[in-house]
């Protein structure tokens, strides 16, 4: 039961980060340049999550072809979902604002899948992943509400939209946790690699594209991207130091469990 409450708390963090970013856009005057920088920083953070946490875990525990397949499926799943959202939006006459809402909901669902999958591997990993996505979702929430303000959507509706985002992350995290907590280790790392593909496409094709549409890039935009990556690297290193003992204990328990299974099979 303690593990369940921990997952709920961690899964709420990215959504709350998104909400906090939305409230900044709600009460602070926004500019296209600020939006450009915020989205570049968010992209750097997301790439940091993939490069520093997700892929090393997969590389240490999966065969290369499993990583390639699951990563490709994750990227394809994101592209397919975007295509479906675009078709539904055009066929129903939906505005680009709601297309953005759907895209953010998909992103947060991916965050939940990542946190739920990470928690099935190790609690310390889930904490680091949740921290990274909270940082990345702040500028994403900022961009959504800034876009709605530009389209003169009523404030009450804007706030309700922000409050709905945490539910997507929470729901997907719980689903992933319940499905993977007793699954074979290989399935857990396949899920992490799948999420890595999904997040990479989201950062490169979605966040950066939206940043370019907000304002033209300059050298500060590049530095914002690099700064986002560096920020997550520092957060990851700090949290891994703080939870180093827990990580070692969980790794020892996993190795012992695997050895017992081998001995039992023999």
Please state the domain extents for the chain: 2-246
Contacts of 35 (CB under 8 A, 6+ apart): 139, 142, 143, 146, 211, 214, 215
47, 200 in Cβ contact below 8 A? yes
Query: pLDDT tens digit string along 228-256?
Result: 899 889 888 887 777 664 544 554 454 44
Say what the pLDDT of residue 61 is: 86
- What is the distance between the alpha carbons of residues 67 and 256, in angstroms, rounded to a whole number? 25
Helix, strand, coil percentages (3-state) for the chain, rounded to 5, are 90, 0, 10
Say what the pLDDT of residue 261 is: 44
134, 94 in Cβ contact below 8 A? no
Say what the pLDDT of residue 230 is: 93
> What is the b/e burial string over 186-214, where b = at least 16 CB atoms within 10 angstroms of the residue's CB?
eebbbbbbbbbbbbbbbbeebbbebbeeb
> What is the b/e burial string over 13-40, where b = at least 16 CB atoms within 10 angstroms of the residue's CB?
bbbbbbbebbbbbbeeebeeebbbbbbb
Say what the pLDDT of residue 258 is: 42
117, 188 in Cβ contact below 8 A? yes
In whole angstroms, how far apart are CA 56 and each of 10, 35, 45, 62, 229? 21, 31, 16, 10, 16
Q: Phi-psi region for residue 152, left (φ > 0), alpha (ψ -120 to 50) or beta?
A: left
Query: pLDDT tens digit string along 47-82?
Result: 998 999 889 888 888 888 999 999 999 999 988 887
Say what the pLDDT of residue 229 is: 93
Say what the pLDDT of residue 99 is: 64
Q: What is the pLDDT along the chain (266 residues), one digit of tens a residue?
A: 567 888 888 889 888 888 888 888 888 877 888 888 888 888 898 899 899 988 988 888 888 899 999 999 999 998 888 787 777 666 655 555 666 677 778 778 888 888 988 888 888 888 888 888 888 888 778 877 877 777 777 888 888 888 888 888 899 899 988 888 888 888 888 999 998 998 898 888 878 887 888 788 888 999 999 998 998 898 888 877 776 645 445 544 544 454 454 455 44
Tokens of 96: 């680009």
31, 139 in Cβ contact below 8 A? no
Say what the pLDDT of residue 137 is: 84
């Amino acid at each position: 039961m303690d593990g369940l409450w921990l997952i709920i708390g961690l899964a709420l963090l990215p959504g709350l980060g998104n909400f906090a970013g939305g409230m900044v856009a709600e009460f602070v005057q926004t500019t296209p340049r600020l939006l450009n920088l915020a989205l570049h920083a968010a992209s750097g953070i997301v790439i940091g999550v993939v490069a520093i946490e997700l892929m090393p875990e997969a590389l240490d525990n999966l065969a290369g072809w499993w990583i390639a397949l699951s990563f490709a499926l994750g990227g394809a799943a994101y592209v397919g979902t975007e295509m479906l959202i675009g078709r539904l939006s055009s066929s129903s006459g939906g505005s680009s604002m709601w297309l953005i809402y759907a895209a953010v909901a998909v992103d947060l669902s991916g965050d939940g899948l990542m946190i739920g999958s990470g928690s099935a591997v190790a609690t310390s990993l889930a904490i680091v992943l949740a921290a990274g996505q909270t940082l990345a979702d702040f500028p994403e929430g900022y961009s959504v509400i800034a876009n709605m303000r530009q389209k003169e959507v009523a404030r009450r509706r804007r706030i309700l939209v922000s409050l709905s985002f945490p539910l997507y992350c929470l729901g997907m995290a719980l689903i992933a946790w319940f499905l993977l907590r007793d699954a074979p280790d290989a399935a857990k790392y396949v899920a992490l690699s799948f999420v890595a593909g999904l997040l990479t496409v989201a950062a490169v094709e979605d966040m950066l594209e939206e940043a370019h549409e907000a304002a033209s890039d300059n050298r500060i935009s590049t530095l914002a991207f690099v700064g986002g990556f560096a920020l997550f690297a520092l957060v990851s290193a700090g949290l891994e130091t703080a939870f180093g003992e827990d990580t070692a204990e969980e790794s020892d328990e996993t190795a012992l469990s695997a050895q017992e299974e081998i001995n039992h099979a023999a």
